[in-house]
Structure 1
Amino acid sequence: MTSAHVESRPRRTTARAGSAFLSTHPRTRLALLLAAPLFWLVIVYIVALALLLVTAFWSVDSFTGVITTEFTLDNIIEVVTGSLYQTVTLRTVGVALAVTIIDVVLALPIAFFMAKVATPRMQRVLLIMVLTPLWASYLVKAYAWRSVLSQDGILEWLLAPFGGHTPGYGLPATIITLSYLWLPYVILPIYAGLERVPDSLLEASGDLGGKTWPTLRLIVFPLILPAIIAGTIFSFSLSLGDYITVNIVGGTNQMLGNLVYTNVGAANNLPLASAIALIPIVIIFGYLFLVRRTGALDNL
């Protein structure tokens, strides 16, 4: 027997022992599988949020521009009490709510048709159509809407015979563009929720004389409400933190994301930018806290 065979035997024994141990300890196996992604999640998200929170309590020397790591509440007080930040916060929340409402209104009939009316083949076609915009670049779609909404764009050309005009650039253009960008993220959870609604419930309602709207309101809507809220989490949070689309079609410093970007770049005031960035984080965590018992988080 060669030395190679002698060395390989302990290795095989160790591998078999490890395999047997993992097969009888599913929790350990699950922990090992999740260790790498959880480590990455902690480093990228949790540590990043912790550093963001800490940076908000620093300051910038007005003469040298160097960040001072001494603890101060000046940035938090300025963000909470400043009229500019209060106005921009209300505007940002208003835009995010408008985008969310528009997307839900558009997504409900589309998702219902996909899940309950369309044939299996048509379902696949519609699903591809919903997913296809996600394959295109974010910037390409935003600039495409900038072209459409411009005074010489296609929308102006279509509305001109009827005496209408394009809304141009500003908050309406921002709402339109963001509604388009996040619509697939709202359709997909609602579609998944509708697919889980048994067809037998709709048939039973029809057999018992239930009309369309009462059936949708009393049977379908309560069952898909968690899926609807799950879709609103996507559209609301993504709109709340967006700044690129606002710069392209809405103008500068219109929303919180623009103020964060301005203070990080041109103003070189990272502590103040961190303090401003805490506002949408607090808002979205508050929203998640409110909807946690609806089951919406299980539909994400």
Structure 2
Amino acid sequence: MSLHRHPRLRLGLLLSAPMLWLGLAYLGALAALFVTAFWHTDVFTGKVVTDWSLDNFATLFSDSVYRTITFRTVGIALLVTVIDAVIAFPMAYAMAKLASPRTQRILVIAVMTPLWASYLVKGYAWRTMLSGNGVLHWLLDPFGLDSPGYGIAATVITLSYLWLPYMILPIYAGLERLPESMVDVSGDLGARSFRTFRSVILPLTFPAVVAGSIFTFSLSLGDYIAVKIVGGTSQMLGNVVYDNIGAANNLPFAATVATVPVVIMLLYLAAVRRTGALDNI
């Protein structure tokens, strides 16, 4: 009876177990990551020394190689986000405003279907298509062009394909909530299609676009598998973390590098919080 009379107490008890697990598994892991970043590895024994220092951060920011990798990673993540937004918006608009209800359901399933396939299968499929004798070479050869091969361009193409559904679905949800009356009023007031898009549709759905960008940007920022498959000799921050955990056996430095994407995403979330994008996730 006491729980029945106190719904907040009942809700608190129901959420206590998952919140405790979240605190231990996620926030605890992040805390351990930040702490480990201030330790270092003994060069002779290879063991982690728990003496606190800023040597790892000094190495990370002073070495031009790591700075280049950081800028490259952020640049790739931004470019993937822009490409996905440009491709996703007209697709989402057609799904939300032009298709019939039955066709909408079919298109939503079609957009989600690639998410059910293995990441590695999709990655290696693009490796095959981007190879010197792959599908892209066969399609572009009659025009005197060639496949981009393996490298940064291939990484951007592959990541754009992998994360495109995460951009389409939030924009589709935002457009579906857009009142048809506002578009009709814009047309009645004499606005052309582009003016209606620029002044009505885009501002009202911008939080949904930003919500999609949170997924595409963060997923690209932390990716290291796609660049291994199609990136050639290119590296991203995820590859540096992976290499220092494995071959280099330098866990503290790997933790230091891993803090960079975390900090970047925290700054990005803080910047977009006022747009209302977090309400669309």
| Shorter-normalised TM range | over 0.9
2:2 maps to a residue whose letter is F
**Partners of 1:206 and 1:23 in 2: how far apart?**
53
Within the candidate set 250, 256, 277, 1:269 is matched to 250
Shift of 1:210: 2.0
Judging changes above 3 Å, is the alpha-carbon distance between structure 1 residues 252 and 266 closer, same or farther for their aligned structure 2 residues?
Answer: farther
Map of 1:1-300 to 2, 5 A cutoff? 20-252=1-233, 254-300=235-281
- 1:81 CA drift (Å): 1.7
Q: Secondary structure at the match of 1:70?
A: coil
How far apart, CA to CA, are the structure 2 residues paired with 1:173 and 1:196?
A: 35
Task: Give the deviation of 1:28 after TM superposition.
Answer: 1.3
Mind listing any 5+ residue stretches in structure 1 that lack a counterpart?
1-19
Offset at residue 253 of structure 1 (A): 5.5
Structure 2 length as normaliser, TM-score? 0.98
Instruction: Report the Cα offset of residue 209 of structure 1.
Output: 2.1
Name the amino acid aligned to 2:163.
W
Cα deviation per residue 1:12-32 (whole Å; 9 max; x = unaligned)?
A: xxxxxxxx2222212112212
Change (3 A) 1:252 1:50: farther
TM-score, length-normalised on structure 1? 0.92
1:150-206 per-position Cα deviation (integer Å, ceiling 9, x unaligned): 011111111111111000000000000000000000000000001111111112222
For the residues of structure 2 that align with 1:267 and 1:252, how far apart are their CA atoms?
18
What root-mean-square deviation, in Å, do the aligned CA atoms of Structure 1 and Structure 2 show? 1.0
Tell me, yes or no, if the aligned pair for 2:151 and 2:234 is still in contact at 8 Å: no
- CA shift, 1:274, in A, is 0.4
- Preserved CA contact (<8 Å) 2:152 2:234: no
Letter of the 1:70 partner, please give it: D
Give the distance between the partners of 1:91 and 1:253, measured in 2 at CA: 9
Q: Aligned AA for 1:229?
A: V
1:266-299 CA-to-partner distances (Å, cap 9, x unmatched) read: 0000000000111111111000011111100111
Structure showing greater radius of gyration is 1
C-alpha deviation, 1:245, in angstroms: 0.5
Q: Distance in 1 between matches of 2:157 and 2:64?
A: 27
Is the 1:253–1:259 Cα contact (8 Å) retained in structure 2?
no
2:190 counterpart SS class: coil
Cα shift at 1:44: 1.7
Amino acid of the structure 2 residue aligned with 1:90:
F
Separation in 2, partners of 1:261, 1:269: 10
Percentage of identical aligned residues: 62
- Helix, strand or coil at the partner of 1:251: coil
Q: Which amino acid aligns with 2:15?
A: L
Instruction: Give the length in aligned residue pairs.
Output: 281
Whichever residue aligns with residue 168 of structure 1, its letter is G
The amino acid of 2:148's aligned partner reads P
2:151/2:233 contact within 8 Å kept:
no
Structure 2: distance between partners of 1:289 and 1:189 = 19
Answer whether contact 1:252 1:258 (CA < 8 A) is retained.
no
- Letter of the structure 1 residue corresponding to residue 7 of structure 2: P
Amino acid of the residue matched to residue 92 of structure 2? A
Q: Match for 2:241: what amino acid?
A: V
